[in-house]
């Protein structure tokens, strides 16, 4: 892969988990970003322990050679919360723009069960046609607002939400304008569908509309237990459903090949939420960095 086109980041969720603050409560922001840099990454997303003042955050990141490339944003268009979502989005956009990010990764969180004690496979939400229309209208507007700052909006397909499966991603992409992009997440599509083919097909189908990439792997045996016992998404996270690229069931070589052939430009971010008490974040970050270097040359 071309180092001038593709940059590598890692998400702080391996050190401190936003959805489960007890995971990594002992890890500081300074430790997190220092270890990211030591492991060889140059980008980060934003975690719950990061300073909220842009100047303070810039200072602490620049000294470590790290920059912000994205930060999660929750939308609630299907629930009819358009005005509040857009108001919050503008604040979020302006913060990311000041940090130098060019992409905003959004997730439609209306009726999401990802943080609830509900069976992740049996109880996920499904949107009505009217709700889909609200989502499409909302994201088209977000794309226009992002463009005002020279940025792109991308939809993060995610377990436990109404945009989880390939069919749901298809519907979202069909209903939104061409300036609404996809945040491709290898782990979430594999978790949802359970096959390598589903991961490769989604990437190939939308590779020209992908603005951001999350690299995560999945442990089949954990997902199997989650299914059999009707467990929640966060139960699976604590049990180790996700891991770093090269440590689970997904074959990443064809994914890297597809991205390279398409001339992908942007960030690839390792995002492998685990319990840091069981999976040392620095050790796993180093392992992930070595795997990506071996497979891509980056």
User: Which CATH number fits the domain that encloses residue 154?
Assistant: 3.20.20.150
Name the DSSP class of 87.
H
Give me the percent of the chain exceeding a pLDDT of 90: 95
pLDDT of residue 17: 86
pLDDT of residue 182: 98
Does the predicted TM-score (pTM) go above 0.95? Answer: yes
Query: Is 1 part of any domain?
Result: no
Q: Is 21's pLDDT higher than 90?
A: no
Range of the domain at 46: 6-296
Query: Is 19 part of any domain?
Result: yes
Give the pLDDT mean for 94-108: 98
Taking the C-alpha atoms of residue 99 and residue 200, their distance in angstroms, rounded to an integer, is 32
Q: Are 75 and 106 in contact (CB under 8 A)?
A: yes
Give the pLDDT mean for 109-116: 97
Residues 40-61: tens digit of each pLDDT: 999 999 999 999 999 999 999 9
pLDDT of residue 211: 98
Q: Are 78 and 135 in contact (CB under 8 A)?
A: yes
β pairing state of 67-68 and 266-270:
unpaired
Query: Is 143 part of any domain?
Result: yes
Query: Is 157 part of any domain?
Result: yes
Q: How confident is the model at residue 279 (pLDDT cuts 50, 70, 90)?
A: very high
pLDDT of residue 77: 98
Close Cβ partners of 9 (under 8 Å, ≥ 6 residues apart): 41, 42, 43, 44, 45, 69, 70, 267, 268, 269, 270
Q: Is 23's pLDDT higher than 90?
A: no
Query: Is 277 part of any domain?
Result: yes
The residue written with tokens 């840099």 in the block is 37
Query: Is 68 part of any domain?
Result: yes
Say how many domains are in the chain.
1
Taking the C-alpha atoms of residue 212 and residue 15, their distance in angstroms, rounded to an integer, is 21
Cα dihedral 169, 124, 23, 273, rounded to 10, equals -30
- Tally of CA atoms within 13 A in the half-sphere of 111 that contains its CB: 15
* Alpha-carbon distances, residue 248 vs 217, 237, 241 (angstroms): 5, 14, 9
Q: Is 18's pLDDT higher than 90?
A: no
Query: Is 225 part of any domain?
Result: yes
* Spatial strand order in the sheet of 180-185: 67-68, 43-44, 6-10, 266-270, 210-215, 180-185, 152-156, 103-108, 73-75
Residues 146-202: tens digit of each pLDDT: 999 999 999 999 999 999 999 999 999 999 999 999 999 999 999 999 999 999 999
Average pLDDT, the chain: 97
> Of 137, 59, 72, which Cα lies nearest the Cα of 104?
72
Query: Is 235 part of any domain?
Result: yes
């Amino acid at each position: 892969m071309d180092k001038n086109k593709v940059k590598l980041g890692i998400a702080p969720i391996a050190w401190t988990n936003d959805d489960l603050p007890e995971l990594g409560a002992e890890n500081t922001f300074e430790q997190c970003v220092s270890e990211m840099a030591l492991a060889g990454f140059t980008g980060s997303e934003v975690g719950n322990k990061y300073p909220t003042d842009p100047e303070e955050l810039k200072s602490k990141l620049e000294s470590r050679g790290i920059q912000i490339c994205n930060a999660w944003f929750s939308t609630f268009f299907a629930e009819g919360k358009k005005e509040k979502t857009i108001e919050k989005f503008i604040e979020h956009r302006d913060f990311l723009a000041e940090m130098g990010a060019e992409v905003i990764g959004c997730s439609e969180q209306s009726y999401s069960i990802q943080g609830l004690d509900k069976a992740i496979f049996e109880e996920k939400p499904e949107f009505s046609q009217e709700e889909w229309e609200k989502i499409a209208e909302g994201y088209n507007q977000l794309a226009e607002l992002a463009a005002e700052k020279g940025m792109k909006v991308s939809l993060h397909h995610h377990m436990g939400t109404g945009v989880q499966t390939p069919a749901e991603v298809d519907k979202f992409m069909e209903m939104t304008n061409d300036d609404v992009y996809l945040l491709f997440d290898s782990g979430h599509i594999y978790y949802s569908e359970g096959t390598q083919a589903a991961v490769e097909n989604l990437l190939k189908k939308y590779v020209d509309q992908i603005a951001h990439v999350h690299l995560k792997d999945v442990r089949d045996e954990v997902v199997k237990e989650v299914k059999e016992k009707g467990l929640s998404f966060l139960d699976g996270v604590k049990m180790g459903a996700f891991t770093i690229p090269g440590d689970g069931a997904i074959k990443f070589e064809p994914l890297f090949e597809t991205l390279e052939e398409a001339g992908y430009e942007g960030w690839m971010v390792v995002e492998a939420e685990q319990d840091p008490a069981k999976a040392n974040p620095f050790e796993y970050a180093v392992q992930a960095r070595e795997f990506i270097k071996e497979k891509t040359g980056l």
